[in-house]
Amino acid sequence: MRWLGVVLALGALACGSDTGQTTGGGGSGATSTGSTSSSGGATSGTGGAGASGGAAQGGQGGVGQGGDPTGGGGQGGGGGGMACTWGGAPCPGGSFCDAPGCGAGTCTPITSLDDGNKSPVCGCDGVTYWNAATASDHGMAMASPGVCPIEVFCGGFGNIPCPKNDLFCAFDVKVQGGCAISDASGSCWGMPATCSTVGFGGDRRLCGSPNGACLYECDAIKSGQTYWGPDSTCPM
């Protein structure tokens, strides 16, 4: 029995020694795990630097795409005349809406290219112009060739003026007997700055006593006086 007690005591000491070593090994394992976690953090930091490099490349691509649309816009700005519609928004200064038939047209510069020759056109404002160039010089589009079917009235009782200051009232009484009419009426015309003087003299005679002067029709209209004609007795 005494030997049995000794054996048990020695066995107990041996077990206690193994337990302590195992505990120590566990502590060492915990320390090793902590070290591995630290190494993982360093790896994450390296990955972040790589992401920053990717962002820089994306920024460069965006700048390249933005440049192309801007270049296309610059080319589009070099087109022709601006489109317009008669009676719509006004054209830029120094131009008018050249819209034959008073519909869609193009903004066209106002020029002074009138040769003064008579070839009447009806403007979109209902006024008759001496020719197409005269209408353009007045910034007016042409509705149709020829004298307007319904002309703009002027003169008469009350001496009604034309709607615009650059128009003239043509007091054409047709025949000499019309000179006796008081308060004669007329129609508004758009006239050239300079009248053409083809031939040896005009055949429109101003009303007067005994006889008025003979003028070209263009000059007679611009005189603002009553006239008649053609008069075959005028010098030609």
Q: Where are the domains positioned within the chain?
A: 152-228
State the Cα angle at 39 between 33 and 45, rounded to 5°.
145
Positive or negative torsion for Cα 34, 35, 37, 41: positive
- What token pair was written down for 4? 């049995």
Residue 101 makes CB contacts below 8 A (sequence gap 6+) with: 143, 144
pLDDT band of residue 236 (cuts 50, 70, 90) is low
Cβ atoms of residues 97 and 141 within 8 Å? yes
Q: Is the pTM of this model over 0.85?
A: no
* Alpha-helix runs per DSSP H in 87-172: 132-137
Q: Residue 230, preceding bond cis, omega within 30 degrees?
A: yes
Q: Is 135 left (phi over 0), alpha (psi -120 to 50) or beta?
A: alpha
Q: Which residue has the tokens 């054209």?
A: 91
98-134: pLDDT as tens digits: 999 999 999 999 988 888 999 999 999 999 999 999 9
Distance CA 171, CA 184 (A): 7
Cβ atoms of residues 195 and 216 within 8 Å? yes
50-99: pLDDT as tens digits: 333 333 333 343 333 433 433 333 333 322 389 999 999 999 999 999 99
pLDDT band of residue 42 (cuts 50, 70, 90) is very low
